[in-house]
Amino acid sequence: MSIDIEQFHAVFFDESQEHLDDMEQLLMELDVEDPDLEQLNSIFRAAHSIKGGSGIFGFDALTGLTHVMENLLDKARKQTISLSVPTVDLFLETVDLLKTILDAYKTESDLPTSEIESGVAALEKALAEADGQAAPSEGVAQDEAQTESASADDDIDGFGFFDDEPEAATEAQPAPTEAASKNDDIDGFGFFDDEPAPPATAEEKAGYGFFKPLEAVNEDAKAAQEDAAKAAEKAKAKAAKTKKPAAKQAEASSIRVDTLKIDAMVNLVGELVITQSMLSMIGDEVSGAVGQKLQTAIVELQRNTREIQESAMSMRMLPVNMTFNRFPRVVRDLSSKLGKQVDLIIEGGNTEIDKSMIEKLVDPLTHLVRNSIDHGVEKPDVRKASGKLEKGTVILRAAQRGSSIVISIIDDGAGLSRERILAKATENGLPVSPDMPDSEVWLLIFQPGFSTAAEVTDVSGRGVGMDVVRRNIEAIGGRIEIESTKGYGSAFHIHLPLTLAIVDGICAAVGNQTFVIPLVNIIESLQPLPEQLKLIGNENLLWIREQYWPLIAIHEMMHVDDAIDNPTEGIVVLLESSKRRFAIQVDALLGQQQVVIKSLEQHYRKVPGISGATIMGDGRVAMILDADAIADLCRPVYEEEKAS
């Protein structure tokens, strides 16, 4: 019987990626001054697993590189070499290279041969240097390893019971006190010394205090207690740092399922929701005892459908930590490169988000974090001169607010410069005004080719990126806000829907059509008074909250007949997008509803101002409005606001 081994490739790629992510995270947490043996063992095991799997599948480039890396890790975990920052950097660079090789095998593209050769050469050079320094310190390292665990030392034979030299045997025995165990000159515990030391001498501790004055014995006992207390605290700290086996064991109870299968199930659940809505409408038309029974059954069906929907959606949800965990490395490398001291704080990493958005968030977040370090956080001497701590702080935070997720990138750096941004915007020919509110000024940095950097570096300064950041965020139904105070720092807030498959919205009637307005974009709704409306040129404006809002008539934009033309007779909904605030005019609000999004572009074509469609309970199709696309139809009203 022949086995098609390629069917296991996907599992190997997924597991190897997890191993590499774990290795990177553990290396970032490693304390080079006092490395945790369990962390080193975990890193070694991950490398060993990748080597074993790659060997089975014939991925020779992975096998060769991990083999050399494994040898160096083995020396580190056995404490025959001392770790240093350059060594950890080398391990991190090797992890990056392993990711590149893994991706090459996964996509069946060309291997980076020259990079692999350089990586192997760097590891072999480190191994040669390690072998050179291991010889004089090997005995010391073995002694330290024995105190941790005798089974971990490969050089112990017979556990010291059959050593040829009695001295070695006595050294291997446990010492009654720490003070005595530190003395290399103790032979036979002092009972058979040819010339017993004077009992009052503090430097020589022969006899374990039998011939010492009582005061000296008490001092030794007190010192031993203090050392024991410190050792206990240190062991407790190490134990707290390495409580990860339980999490790994929990992961073992899960199974791997193709995302296409989950998407198919979510789609079927969406159809079930639509069917349930149809039955609810039919039930309203049935009266009498039968109608009452039908309503009871429909309510039960509605409850079960909601639970099935939530269960199906939860399968798509993953903790945002899957994205956040890569940023400690980004911050470490970039701050070191720029000569800055930056502390990254991650908050709300357990907040869950739709899997389809996890990978799409990586590029925007990476660019914003890099910008915070490059443009935001100042160098240590500048921060010290301005009365700040030399080490800057970048906070990466995720939190759920209602039906949306808010991801924030906050720094305590120099903040955005309003003057420089306005000057650059004027230079680029953008329509600006000195009276623009800060919130509108900050959004100018998202214009293509916009940069206020004093110099161009390989990190930033070319004006490429922030416009792409906004475009990528809008592509997954999100929007971005900026807060900044000069001299105190900046905050970028990304608002995202919980999922791309289902949206909470308000159904609005426009003529004989129904439109769904995403709840995440709605500020409030009202029926305007005549004095709140103003016409300037061809632009309709609404005066509310001490400012003018562009007013868009949905029936005109969507060419709907039989709609209410006068805004005072209909309803105005205030919306907020990533670009600006504006108002839309509809006939009436029909109520809040959770709807399943269907791609209009896939089944029909792209319609301006529409992000998708859904099927209502009566079987009719309702369009879902795209707030960001509608915002493009609005023009700034700074001149009108100033004139008022």
497 pairs with which residues across the strands?
404
- C-alpha torsion angle, residues 375, 376, 382, 387 (rounded to 10): 170
Q: Please give the pLDDT value at position 397.
A: 93
Scan for tokens 């002694």, then name that residue.
143
Over range 240-267, report the average pLDDT: 61
Q: Is the pLDDT of residue 273 over 90?
A: no
Least-confidence region, from 123-137, 375-389, 396-410? 123-137
Q: Please give the pLDDT value at position 212.
A: 45
Average pLDDT, the chain: 76
Scan for tokens 């509608």, then name that residue.
630
Q: Please give the pLDDT value at position 500.
A: 67
Least-confidence region, from 101-110, 294-303, 311-320, 631-640? 631-640
Instruction: Give the count of alpha carbons within 13 A of 191, CB side only.
Output: 3
Cα–Cα distance between 353 and 628 in angstroms, integer?
21
Cα–Cα distance between 91 and 85 in angstroms, integer?
10
Give residue 631's identity as a one-letter amino acid code: A
Q: Please give the pLDDT value at position 490.
A: 93
Q: Is the pLDDT of residue 149 over 50?
A: no
Over range 251-272, report the average pLDDT: 74
Q: Please give the pLDDT value at position 574.
A: 93
Q: Is the pLDDT of residue 66 over 80?
A: yes
Helices 60-77, 37-57: crossing angle, 10 deg rounding: 160
Give 187-220 pLDDT, tens digit per residue. 444 444 444 444 444 444 444 444 445 454 455 5
**CATH superfamily for domain 502-643:** SH3 Domains (2.30.30.40)
CATH topology of domain 320-497: Heat Shock Protein 90 (3.30.565)
More confident residue, 391 or 503: 391
84 pairs with which residues across the strands?
none
Give 455-480 pLDDT, tens digit per residue. 555 555 444 468 888 888 887 878 88
More confident residue, 198 or 98: 98
Q: Are strands 317-319 and 352-354 parallel, antiparallel or unpaired?
A: antiparallel
Q: Is the pLDDT of residue 158 over 50?
A: no
Over range 548-568, report the average pLDDT: 89
Largest CA distance in the chain: 116
Give 480-500 pLDDT, tens digit per residue. 889 998 889 999 999 887 776
8 A C-beta contact, residue 505 and residue 517? yes
Q: Please give the pLDDT value at position 361.
A: 87
Domain boundaries, the chain: 5-156, 179-241, 259-318, 320-497, 502-643
Give 7-37 pLDDT, tens digit per residue. 678 778 888 888 888 888 888 888 888 888 8
Over range 373-389, report the average pLDDT: 91
CATH topology of domain 5-156: Four Helix Bundle (Hemerythrin (Met), subunit A) (1.20.120)
**Percent of the chain's residues with pLDDT above 90:** 13
Over range 376-383, report the average pLDDT: 91
Cα–Cα distance between 614 and 518 in angstroms, integer?
12
**Percent of the chain's residues with pLDDT above 70:** 74
Over range 400-420, report the average pLDDT: 86
Cα–Cα distance between 478 and 475 in angstroms, integer?
7
Would you place residue 233 in the very low, low, confident or very high pLDDT band (cuts 50, 70, 90)?
low
Q: Please give the pLDDT value at position 251.
A: 45
How many CB atoms are closer than 10 A to CB 495?
20
Q: Please give the pLDDT value at position 252.
A: 47
Cα–Cα distance between 445 and 490 in angstroms, integer?
13
CA 501 to chain centre: 22
Q: Please give the pLDDT value at position 342.
A: 92
Over range 83-89, report the average pLDDT: 86
> Please, which residues have CB within 8 angstroms of residue 264's CB and are 6 or more apart in sequence?
none
Cα–Cα distance between 610 and 506 in angstroms, integer?
15
Sign (positive/negative) of CA torsion 401, 445, 356, 603? positive
Closest CA to 592 of 506, 468, 482: 506
Q: Is the pLDDT of residue 157 over 50?
A: no
Tokens describing residue 569: 């007779």
Least-confidence region, from 143-157, 403-417, 531-545, 579-593? 143-157
Give 42-61 pLDDT, tens digit per residue. 898 888 888 888 888 888 88
User: Angle at CA 315, nearest 5°, toward 313 and 320?
Assistant: 95
Tokens describing residue 257: 């399922």
Cα–Cα distance between 200 and 405 in angstroms, integer?
71
Give 580-625 pLDDT, tens digit per residue. 789 999 999 988 877 777 777 777 777 888 888 888 767 788 999 9
DSSP 316-331: HEEETHHHHTTHHHHH
260 pairs with which residues across the strands?
none
8 A C-beta contact, residue 377 and residue 342? yes
> Between the ranges 151-155, 229-233, 297-301, where is the mean pLDDT highest?
297-301
